[in-house]
């Protein structure tokens, strides 16, 4: 475990060396935006709509005291989406989708000697392969998360209208109440940290494979498990640090 941490840190140093060729880095970054970012929009939309809807319905269902106004439903949906569901749940989903993809892509390159080939052609493979992925994730995941917040709240609103448990006016009134802009900042900070965890941990696991193609499968599973655990762990730490 300690050895892994050491290897991971050494790799990070390699990754963050300045790219040898600027234009090469930029074109790789563009490819990664597509591969890691825009390709995930579909799943983010679906998951967000449903979580928003579920949160709204569950809140409405749980309010049975006449003392609590139904406007609470809009308020709760917004808070839940911004504080926790969008940044954390979506990052966990991305850990599954993007993390396994990064680990298997880089792992395959390792076992088929493509990483060796890069090195003999004068390239620093860690920097060339992993830096664009980390950068793309850290820049694009916040966009996905903000998108998810908006869609999730919309999903909650739709659920209220369709089921009729809360009126549209009540929902929107709640939505507008007691808004603290810092919650969004907090969510974005979390997202950026999670994006770094997903891309660097998965990159490391793929890069450090020794052996054959069986290892590639194992590494991509590990990428999902390790990044998910680290996300939850850092969620707790960041919440402590930022909100209290």
Partner 1 sequence: MIEVKNISKTFGDNQVLKNVSTIFEKGQTNLIIGQSGSGKTVLMKSCIGLIDPDEGEIIFDQRPFSRLAEKQKKDIRKDMGVLFQGGALFDSFNVEQNVMFPLNMFTTMSLEEKLDRVNFVLKRVNLENVNKLYPSEISGGMMKRVAIARAISNNPQYLFCDEPNSGLDPKTAEVIDALISEITEEYNMTTVINTHDMNSVLQIGQRINFLYKGQLWWQGDMHTILEEENPELQEFVFSTELTRRIKK
> Which residues make up the interface to partner 1 (CB under 8 A)?
20-21, 24, 31, 108-109, 112-114, 116-117, 119-123
* Smaller CB separation from partner 1, 29 or 123: 123
Choose between 68 and 117: whose C-beta lies nearer to partner 1: 117
- d(CA 159, CA 53) in angstroms, rounded, equals 5
What is the smallest separation between the CB atom of 124 and partner 1, expressed in angstroms? 8
State how far the Cα of 218 lies from the Cα of 1, in Å rounded to an integer.
Answer: 17
Minimal distance, residue 170 CB to partner 1, in Å: 52
Q: Closest separation between CB of residue 39 and partner 1, Å? A: 14
Q: How far apart are CA 225 and CA 221, in angstroms?
A: 6
Instruction: Name the CA dihedral angle for 29, 31, 33, 34, rounded to a multiple of 10 degrees.
Output: 180
Contact status, residue 140 vs residue 37, Cβ threshold 8 Å: yes
Q: Which is nearer to partner 1, 78 or 110 (CB)?
A: 110
Structure-token pair, residue 66? 């006449």
Interatomic CA distance for residues 125 and 14, integer angstroms = 9
Minimum CB–partner distance for residue 178 and partner 1 (Å):
49
Query: Distance between CA 73 and CA 207 in Å, rounded?
Result: 46
Please say which residue, 14 or 84, places its beta carbon nearer to partner 1.
14
Considering the complex, what minimum distance in angstroms separates the CB of residue 166 from partner 1?
Answer: 49
Nearer to partner 1, 116 or 180 (CB): 116
> Which two structure tokens, joined as six digits, stand for 185?
């900042």
């Amino acid at each position: 475990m300690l050895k892994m941490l050491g290897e991971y840190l050494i790799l990070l140093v390699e990754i963050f060396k300045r790219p040898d060729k600027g234009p090469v880095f930029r074109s790789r970054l563009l490819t990664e935006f597509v591969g890691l970012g825009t390709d995930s929009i579909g799943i983010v939309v679906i998951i967000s709509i449903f979580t928003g809807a579920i949160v709204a319905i569950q809140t409405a269902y749980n309010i049975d005291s006449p003392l609590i106004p139904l406007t609470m439903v809009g308020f709760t949906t917004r808070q839940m989406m911004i504080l926790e569901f969008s940044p954390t749940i979506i990052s966990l989903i991305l850990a599954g989708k993007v993390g396994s993809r990064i680990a298997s892509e880089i792992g395959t390159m390792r076992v088929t000697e493509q990483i060796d080939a890069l090195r003999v052609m004068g390239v620093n493979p860690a920097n060339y392969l992993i830096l664009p992925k980390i950068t793309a994730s850290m820049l694009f995941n916040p966009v996905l998360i903000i998108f998810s917040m908006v869609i999730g709240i919309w999903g909650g609103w739709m659920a209220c209208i369709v089921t009729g448990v809360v009126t549209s006016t009540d929902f929107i009134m709640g939505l507008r109440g007691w808004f603290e802009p810092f919650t969004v900042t907090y969510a974005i900070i979390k997202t950026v940290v999670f994006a770094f965890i997903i891309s660097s941990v998965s990159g490391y696991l793929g890069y450090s494979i020794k052996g054959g193609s069986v290892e590639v499968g194992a590494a991509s599973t590990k990428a999902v498990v390790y990044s998910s655990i680290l996300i939850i762990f850092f969620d707790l730490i960041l919440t402590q640090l930022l909100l209290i």
